[in-house]
Amino acid sequence: MSEFRTETDSLGPVEVPADKLWGAQTQRALQLFPIGVDPMPPEMIEAYALLKMGCALANHGAGRLNTEARDLIVTACGEILSGDHDAMFPLPVWISGSGTQFNMNVNEVVANRCSQLAGRPLGSKEPVHPNDHVNRSQSTNDNFPTAMHMAAALAISRALIPAVRAMAGSLSDHAEAWDDIVKIGRTHLQDATPLTLGQEFSGYAAMLEDHLVRLETAFEGVLALPLGGTAVGTGINTHPGFAEDAVARIADLSGLDFRPVANRFAAQGGHDALVHLSGCLKGLAASLYKIACDIRLLACGPRAGLAELVLPANEPGSSIMPGKVNPTQCEALTMVALQAMGNDLAATLGGAGGILEMNVYKPLMIFNVMQSIRNLSGAMVAFKANLLDGLKPDRERIANLLGRSLMLVTALSPAIGYEKAAEIALHAHRTGSTLKEAALELGYVTEEEFDRIVVPARMVGPQV
């Protein structure tokens, strides 16, 4: 058997490896774009298989595709969905800004697999043609952004939202369990008035719960698919009702409530729904960064730091220092968060690059959005399982730090005034005495008054 076969496209013949299902245009792209090692997001393969299947069913229903071609396309796409042909999609992200080569990669793989299934030679384009049948009623200009929306929606629903919800739930559980632990607050990295450890963690939980609301809104945005606009949004070469029928079939196949976009010109000229989604991912990343950094700081020690929290000892922390436990999950989550913030800039600039009727930064945008979704989801799952769920408070340490804090003097301000309270705190700090000793030495309160007023547990909310 020859190592190569000859396939043709509109520019002429191309030698394609004999054992590959892709065709001439994919092979040309491999030669023209040997750029980097970043493959197209794998979620795009699944999205395109669902899309091509839905389009074949819609075209057949309108009498624009024969039954044999429909059945072959559906079978080939089903195999792609099962992962049977993953190796047949070799193109990097860095191709045409429209993604045309990847669309044609899918068209060629489906068509060639259909030829195999029908007992015809690869490259024969019989009984299914990559352009005339697999790509019928479509242009890359509408089906690539459709696949982008689908890939994002599938990943959000399967991975991201469940990960955010689970991490928020774990934080909320800690907030409830630790609401009786009064600790010293800190502002400007300096001692401040008390709060409970539960209150502190309730803030973290609420941050993620707020992001869930924002993500659900962004998710709704990407459920609107621009399929049916073809080249410039007008729908040329489609039949009436194609978009509605194809999108309904995609929704049924995927289990998600996809719908046609309200205005295809807006969706093809710009990709605002994905820019909005990327912004939500950046906002989530910012909160995750803050939460991970706070926990890392509160756990620093165990003897020379704050050490209010005790990290689970999952792994050796150092190759030279025995017994060290490092906040590795915090570090992984913060690195992922920073990457997502950088990805958002690339996605935003890509979204701004819509020129007249088409955006030409599509692969860049979906690469960055999908990396953020995938990384944030995985990092949150790991953080919850390997850090949050095993996190413990050091009650003795927390109580000791609380008792030594000078900012408990804040409770005295309403009784003796800000200036005298400040004098007590400064005197205690200079002399190394306790607040109580300083207050009694200066004669601003009696012992009974101090004990009645300065009660940390009563300082974690409004005073009656």
CATH of the domain at 323: 1.20.200.10
- Same domain for 208 and 172? yes
Nearest of 137, 139, 134 to residue 109 by alpha carbon = 134
The domain tally of the chain equals: 3
pLDDT in tens, 15-39: 999 999 999 999 999 999 999 999 9
> What is the predicted pLDDT for the residue at 2?
64
Check the annotation: does 238 bind a ligand.
no
CATH number reported for the structural domain that contains residue 48 in this entry: 1.10.275.10
pTM of the model: 0.95
End residue of a domain, out of 394, 416, 446: 394
End residue of a domain, out of 119, 136, 153: 136
- Please report whether residue 105 resides in a domain: yes
- Please report whether residue 464 resides in a domain: no
Check the annotation: does 124 bind a ligand.
no
Mean pLDDT along residues 434-458: 94
- Please report whether residue 242 resides in a domain: no
Instruction: Select which of 96, 133, 149, 188 is catalytic.
Output: 188
- Same domain for 378 and 440? no
Instruction: Count CB-CB contacts under 10 A for residue 80.
Output: 24
Instruction: Count CB-CB contacts under 10 A for residue 134.
Output: 27
Q: Which residue reads 């559906």 in tokens?
A: 74
- Same domain for 254 and 111? no
- Same domain for 378 and 329? yes
- Same domain for 97 and 26? yes
Query: Does the structure show a pLDDT above 70 at 88?
Result: yes
- Same domain for 424 and 315? no
Check the annotation: does 282 bind a ligand.
no
- Same domain for 326 and 187? yes
Any alpha helices (H) in 10-99, and if so which ranges?
24-32, 42-61, 67-81
Check the annotation: does 193 bind a ligand.
no
Instruction: Select which of 115, 172, 318, 405 is catalytic.
Output: 318
The answer to whether 193 touches 455, Cβ cutoff 8 Å, is no
In three-state secondary structure terms, 12 is strand
Q: pLDDT confidence of 463, banded at 50, 70, 90?
A: confident
Domain range for residue 132?
4-136
- Same domain for 323 and 415? no
Mean pLDDT along residues 35-50: 97
Instruction: Count CB-CB contacts under 10 A for residue 369.
Output: 31
Nearest 10 degrees: Cα torsion 126, 132, 136, 137: -170
CA atoms within 13 A on the CB side of 93: 20
End residue of a domain, out of 84, 101, 136: 136
- Please report whether residue 12 resides in a domain: yes
Query: Does the structure show a pLDDT above 70 at 1?
Result: no
Mean pLDDT along residues 52-73: 98
- Please report whether residue 463 resides in a domain: no
Check the annotation: does 130 bind a ligand.
yes
pLDDT in tens, 264-310: 999 999 999 999 999 999 999 999 999 999 999 999 999 999 999 99
Q: pLDDT confidence of 105, banded at 50, 70, 90?
A: very high
Instruction: Round to whole Å and give the CA distance between 297 and 347.
Output: 32
pLDDT in tens, 432-442: 999 999 999 99
For residue 318, indicate whether it is catalytic: yes
For residue 174, indicate whether it is catalytic: no
In three-state secondary structure terms, 101 is helix
CATH number reported for the structural domain that contains residue 412 in this entry: 1.10.40.30
